[in-house]
Amino acid sequence: MRSALAAEGIRKRFGGLWAVDGVTLRPEPSSIVGLIGPNGSGKTTLLNVLNGVYKPDEGRVLLGDVDVTGRSPHQLAAAGVSRTFQTPRVFKSVTVMENMLTPTLHLHGRRAGFVDRANQLLELVNLIDKRDQAASELSGGQQKLLEFARALVTDPHVVLMDEPFAGVHPTIKEVLQGRILAANEEGTGFIIVSHEVPDLIAMSEWLVCMDQGSAISEGLPTDVQQDDQVVTAYLGQ
Ligand code: ADP
């Protein structure tokens, strides 16, 4: 059974600005939650609080029943919270396979036992033929696929994804969407920030719309999409 990653009354301030101003999210374990909202509404900051990049000024982060507020990204990764970024953060000078094994080395101090899993994931994202090439030789979209596969290698409870579909070729987007859904079928939870609202609605079980640091609407995606506040704040802009 996987644990859900939850936010309870999170507030995070930069100077005089409350970038996240009291957000509570209680996803079901093993669910896909979509997070939408206009630029500057606090989505990335919330992800950064959820994976420990920022310590919240107020509120708690919970993994299952465990209060993980204030743990570092590394500690949270070890506890089962993975992350991908808008611009993929792969290690370009080393091979695709080395990239895949980095988290296992950091988190478990060993690689043995993860090679099969890494191979299997590379197969699933169509990168198995590139396994021994430097990551710098991959296209931007392929780097996103690699970062995604790497996020799964440690079998996390939850993967936080920031704009996974932005700027990627439709073919790669399709692979990524398919793999997210397949990993979710196997129990991995996702919290996905995306401006590609129709894609996100199609994948998400629960949709949250943020505006000016607050969650202004949440619920079933089709309901949130039609919420007047959401249309005004975001979709109709
Ligand atoms: P979104 O991801 O929804 O576009 P962000 O979380 O990136 O929104 O930003 C929310 C607000 O916080 C914005 O006003 C942004 O300028 C501000 N902000 C984000 N990160 C920082 C930072 N490191 N320092 C100061 N202000 C920041």
The ipTM value here is 0.98
Which of 45, 87, 209 to probe ligand 1 with, by most ligand atoms within 8 A of CB?
45
- Domain of 48? 5-235
**Cα(88) to centroid of ligand 1, in Å?**
19
Beta strands at 206-211 and 32-36: parallel, antiparallel or unpaired = parallel
For tokens 């478990």, the residue is 108
pLDDT recorded at residue 55: 97
Please identify every stretch of the chain with a pLDDT value under 50, giving residue numbers as ranges.
none
- The CATH number of residue 24's host domain is 3.40.50.300
Q: What is the largest distance, in Å, between two alpha-carbon atoms of the chain?
A: 53
Structure tokens at 232: 């005004």
CA dihedral 143, 148, 149, 152 (to 10 degrees): 160
**Cα(61) to centroid of ligand 1, in Å?**
19
**Cα(144) to centroid of ligand 1, in Å?**
23
Residue 49, amino acid: V
Number of structural domains (the chain) is 1
Structure tokens at 62: 């919970």
DSSP 134: B
pLDDT recorded at residue 79: 94
Closest alpha carbon to 157 in 34, 30, 32: 30
Kind and range of the H or E run holding 183 = helix 170-185
pLDDT recorded at residue 237: 54
pTM: 0.94
pLDDT recorded at residue 45: 98
Distance CA 37, CA 54 (A): 20
